[in-house]
Amino acid sequence: MKKIKIGIAGTRGLSTLMGLKAIEDVEITAMCDLDETHLNEAADKIGVSNRYRVFDDMLESDVDAVIIATPMQCHVPQAIAALEAGKHVMSEVTAGVSMDELFWLCECVEKYGKIYMYAENYIYTPEVQLVKSMVRAGLFGEPYYAEGMYMHNIGSILTYPNGKRSWRSYWQCGKRGNFYPTHSIGPVMQWFPGDRITEISTFSPGVWNDVGLKQDSGTTTMCRTEKGKLLNIRTDCMSAHPHNMDFYHLQGTLGCYRSKTHGSDFHRVSFIGEDSPIHAMQWKKLEDFEDYLPDRFKYATEEQKHAGHGGGDFFIVEDFINAVRDNKQPDLDVYTACEWTAVGLLSALSVTNNAKHIEIPHFRKNMPLEEKIVKL
Ligand SMILES: NC(=O)c1ccc[n+]([C@@H]2O[C@H](COP(=O)([O-])OP(=O)(O)OC[C@H]3O[C@@H](n4cnc5c(N)ncnc54)[C@H](O)[C@@H]3O)[C@@H](O)[C@H]2O)c1
């Protein structure tokens, strides 16, 4: 089988290393980073000699696919350039930084027929996958409400070690609203199969942290889905709170799940049952239901589990390579990427207009031009 040649842009892309190395017939042949020191450090680590500071130069090489792990504002311009050059794309989160970009990205994936995969690794953690299987098996009854919370004080990465401002101070914390929502939306949407977010409203307590940037001291975005379900998505990168980037809660008609919040805590579930009527429900450990875990997570090797984000950084690469091999768009396709990213982009409009209710466009193949707008 012909080897799939991969080019990586941005050092965060090295998180895919273990996954790529474990898969046969894949080789990393090029590395790109604007910063020469980062470039050489990363390329030495991977052992590649094709090194590029300019992304478009890497596209002139014979790579079949690129992993885009540069800052958020580079994702769409680089993805479009890659698709135009006939390369498959795996893009870091979020998909883009403006609504116009998202519409353009969808058009290019359709036009050039290459694979686009959204690298939302948080959906690949064993707990999220286990709850997904339990939802499918009907243990929670009909899910109707979920919460996803991303608490990550990023004060220390708003500047680089050399004292210069990092891209995060403008493209993330220079923005109002829920600028980084997909680590929360992605996992909870796994539990609402066949549904999509159709409308949002974003609330904020205002700015209470003396960082000198525009970002709110946390925002809460209420999302309504097409099937009438409700999601509560909180992102807070400002407040005084220990890191808790993957808190989730699911409520169904027969039971619920709450993820752990700190080291000694545990993931828990509770169900109505003969021995536990609704007024006397008890918590059980999620790990007691591990039989429901899909095989590839159940039998993951220690190495896979340690790939980062609970093994997520391994399995996401496997799905990307399979999509490229089968020439079939993955579940985390461009439309999913745009829907989840749009929640964040439009939350800024909502929060600056007194939590105004905003519709999320229905991103899909051949979406008509008259729908490529923000409806006010
Ligand atoms: N999925 C996750 O869990 C996760 C975690 C961290 C970061 N991220 C995402 O990864 C991306 C990178 O984040 P980071 O924390 O590594 O940022 P960073 O600032 O630490 O690193 C970005 C790198 O990209 C390089 N770069 C900047 N512009 C470039 C360009 N035009 N062409 C080539 N290289 C360029 C920089 O020199 C730098 O080495 C972001 O999109 C971020 O949202 C995702």
Q: What are phi and psi of 375, to 5 degrees?
A: -85, 125
Q: Which of 171, 149, 154 is nearest to 221 (CA)?
A: 149
Q: What is the pLDDT of residues 1-30, one digit of tens each?
A: 789 999 999 998 998 998 898 888 999 999
pLDDT in tens, 192-213: 999 999 999 999 999 998 888 8
User: Is residue 107 within 8 Å of 82, Cβ to Cβ?
Assistant: no
Residue spans per domain, the chain: 122-297
CA distance 151 to 236: 5
Q: Which of 335, 368, 344 is nearest to 105 (CA)?
A: 335
345: closest CA among 71, 72, 67? 72
pLDDT of residue 207: 92
Instruction: Check if 92 has its Cβ closer than 6 Å to any atom of ligand 1.
Output: yes
Tell which CATH classification among 3.30.360.10, 3.30.70.100, 3.40.50.620, 3.40.640.10 matches the domain 122-297.
3.30.360.10
For residues 107-129, one letter each, b for 16 or more C-beta atoms within 10 angstroms of the residue's C-beta and e for the rest, the string is bbbeebebbbbbbbbbbbbbbbb
Determine if ligand 1 sits within 6 Å of the CB of residue 260.
Answer: no
Dist. CA 295 → ligand 1 center (Å): 32
DSSP annotation of 339 reads H
Q: How far is it, in rounded angstroms, from Cα 335 to Cα 339?
A: 6
The response to whether residue 70 sits with its C-beta less than 6 Å from ligand 1 reads yes
Q: Residue 101 Cα, ligand 1 centroid: separation in angstroms? A: 19
Give per-residue pLDDT as tens, 233-266: 999 999 999 999 999 999 999 999 999 998 899 9
The verdict on the CB of residue 59 being under 6 Å from ligand 1 is no
Q: Is the CB of 33 under 6 A from ligand 1?
A: yes
